[in-house]
Amino acid sequence: MNKLPAYPHLDGLVDLACRDGVDIRPTLLRVLTDLYVQKPTHSAMEEAQYLELALGLVDAVDEPTRAAVVASLANYPAAPVAILRKLGVPERLAEPMPLTERAPSSLIDMFFAAASDERRLILENLETTPPALARRPAPPSSEVIRRLENAALQHNTGEFGRILERALGVSHALAERIARDYSGEPLVIAAKALGMNASIFQRVLLFLNPAIGQSVGRVHDLARLFDDLKPDSADRMVSIWREAGRTSPPVHQPALWDDERRGARSLSTATPRRSLQNRDDQPSRFKSTGR
């Protein structure tokens, strides 16, 4: 059995399980499951390693151990359905908690911790959520799309995240997380929700994040997901992102959004000068005689 980079504290048990005559598998499965349910969310590596090990151990342990694992996973909202089914949990109980019943922050953590195929399943499940969950923002201007593309072409993920933050109305931390995600599905969601066209999105993929752009296969997979993703699903996820961050509604600024502010500043600073000038232009009878 291989070492466990996601669960390094179990390496000793794994070594013991490899010895002849010592059946440590029931203990290993119990401890592994206890460690799994202690964390509300998991990285893709942790999730994959737990699934691989647990699925391999379930058939090799006794009934008391299986019952103990079922009890540990029963109250865990993100319990892997594959493990529950393997343990014989009834189909209706093995179904994951509906996405609409999860806290927004929990769903976000679950989405970012999931592997690519699991992220796609989450997006597919969002298609069945009530329409009221989605609050589609006003369509962004072409200027917003242009600025996002320019930031991507310059490999400026920081600027891309700042534009995305305002365009989607999400928190700064989440916008940065979307822009820098190594897998790319959050970027697909953001682009789809903003109405970005496919050609611009492909250029963004190629230039924004080297972890994505340097993999031709990854770019093709994400471009295909972009084509398949329904706008309503993207809108629902953005609504969840926005709700979790409790940010203000998105504001899509026109290209010359600062002109009015600059004009107001100019008027406010010019007014005193005009007042002084008018005072100097007043008839001499209104001026001080110096006496």
Q: For 140-180, what is the HEC assignment?
A: CCHHHHHHHHHHHHCCCHHHHHHHHHHHHCCCHHHHHHHHH
pTM over 0.75: no
pLDDT in the model for residue 256: 39
How far apart (Å, rounded) are the C-alpha atoms in residues 76 and 197? 40
Instruction: Say what percent of the chain tops pLDDT 70.
Output: 65
Phi/psi at 101 (5° precision): -95, -5
Phi/psi at 171 (5° precision): -70, 160
pLDDT in the model for residue 162: 96
pLDDT in the model for residue 49: 83
245 SS3 class: helix
Where the chain has pLDDT below 50, the residues are 1-3, 8, 91-93, 132-136, 138, 247-249, 251-291
pLDDT in the model for residue 106: 66
211 SS3 class: helix
236 SS3 class: helix
How far apart (Å, rounded) are the C-alpha atoms in residues 154 and 194? 20
pLDDT in the model for residue 21: 56
CA distances from 274 to 264, 267, 268, 271, 282 (A): 15, 10, 10, 5, 12
Q: Are 55 and 82 in contact (CB under 8 A)?
A: yes
pLDDT in the model for residue 262: 43
Q: Are 116 and 183 in contact (CB under 8 A)?
A: yes
Helix 185-194 crosses helix 116-126 at what angle (to 10 degrees)? 30
Q: Are 41 and 106 in contact (CB under 8 A)?
A: yes
pLDDT in the model for residue 284: 43
